[in-house]
Amino acid sequence: MAGQCTICLSEMNDPVCIPCGHLYCSQCLSDYIASSSEDGYTTLCPTCRALFSIVSPELTCLPKHVHRYITPSIRRVYLDSSAVQSLQQKLVASQNQVRNLKKESERLMLFCEKYQNASDVHADGEAKARLEVERLTRLLREQKLATEEAEEETLEWKERHDDLKKQLKNLRGNVHLMPGIIHRITINLIALQRLRVVALSVIFPADQTKSLEPFLLI
């Protein structure tokens, strides 16, 4: 394969080169020159529009020492098809490599998105776990404080219980003394009642003392 002619867009046949370096089929360039040259001496490159001459001076009309400087504007070229084929094979291999790399890049991108999503889920779970730990820590602190208060209250009630037990023990120890105490109190009340009667009889006449008897029993 010799490359593609930009005039006929086909594989280049009998390639020729013009001064600007562009290559065309010999017949395609001849047809182009025949249809585009206005003065019959020059024309423009179909690709870059560079002006070039389409005629060569007659060497017999020129001195011999300048003959070597005269070159035709249109020259036939030989294209090594094996080199072109090698380049095309390298191009195809490079294109295949690019496609493979693109597929690999897409695959890696999917993995990245997958792991990124997993990382986001993990981060979200970690944040929720951190909040749960903070909540449990706060609850544990509150329960610890409540436990300390309950222990203090329990100790206080224990002290009260012990004190009541002591009082109950003392009361039980004095129960056998209660009848004697009650008897002495009764005797004292009777004696006090008699003293009141005597005192009233001294203060009030006998008829008034009789009328006060209901009150003396109080």
Tell whether the torsion through CA atoms of 212, 214, 216 and 218 is positive or negative: negative
Same domain? For 140 and 98 the reply is: yes
**Which residues constitute the domain of residue 156?**
82-177
Same domain? For 66 and 141 the reply is: no
Same domain? For 92 and 158 the reply is: yes
SS3 assignment, position 136 = helix
For residue 31, give the amino acid letter. Answer: D
Give the pairing type, strands 42-44 and 23-25: unpaired
Same domain? For 103 and 172 the reply is: yes
**Spatial separation of the C-alpha atoms in residues 3 and 111, rounded to whole Å:** 42
Number of H helices, E strands in the chain: 5, 5
**187 in a domain, yes or no?**
no
Q: 54, 79, 104 — which closes off a domain? A: 79
Instruction: End-to-end CA distance of the chain: give it in Å, rounded.
Output: 148
Same domain? For 72 and 95 the reply is: no
CA neighbor of 1 nearest in space, from 69, 72, 118, 88: 88
Same domain? For 45 and 94 the reply is: no
Same domain? For 49 and 97 the reply is: no
Q: 79, 96, 120 — which closes off a domain? A: 79
Same domain? For 98 and 119 the reply is: yes
**8 in a domain, yes or no?**
no
**210 in a domain, yes or no?**
no
**Spatial separation of the C-alpha atoms in residues 28 and 10, rounded to whole Å:** 10
**Spatial separation of the C-alpha atoms in residues 32 and 25, rounded to whole Å:** 10
Q: For the whole prediction, is pTM greater than 0.75?
A: no
Q: 28, 57, 79 — which closes off a domain? A: 79
**57 in a domain, yes or no?**
yes
Question: Given this model, what pLDDT does residue 183 score?
Answer: 79
CA neighbor of 24 nearest in space, from 39, 10, 40: 10
**106 in a domain, yes or no?**
yes
**199 in a domain, yes or no?**
no
**185 in a domain, yes or no?**
no
Same domain? For 45 and 113 the reply is: no
Give the pLDDT of the chain (218 residues) as one tens digit per residue. Answer: 457 899 999 988 889 999 999 999 999 999 999 998 888 888 999 999 999 988 877 767 778 777 676 778 888 887 766 666 777 788 889 999 999 999 998 999 888 888 888 888 888 888 888 999 999 999 999 989 888 888 888 888 888 888 888 887 777 766 667 777 777 878 877 877 777 666 666 665 556 555 555 555 44
Tell whether the torsion through CA atoms of 4, 9, 11 and 12 is positive or negative: negative
**183 in a domain, yes or no?**
no
**Domains of the chain: total:** 2
Question: Given this model, what pLDDT does residue 100 score?
Answer: 92
Same domain? For 92 and 62 the reply is: no
Long-range pairs, 5-12, Cβ under 8 A, ≥24: 6/46, 6/47, 7/32, 7/46, 12/79
Question: Given this model, what pLDDT does residue 202 score?
Answer: 64
Question: Given this model, what pLDDT does residue 45 score?
Answer: 93
With tokens 């889920």, the residue in question is 121
Same domain? For 119 and 172 the reply is: yes
Same domain? For 97 and 112 the reply is: yes
Burial profile 133-159: b = 16 or more Cβ within 10 angstroms, e = fewer: eeeeeeeeeeeeeeeeeeeeeeeeeee
CA neighbor of 11 nearest in space, from 20, 23, 21: 23
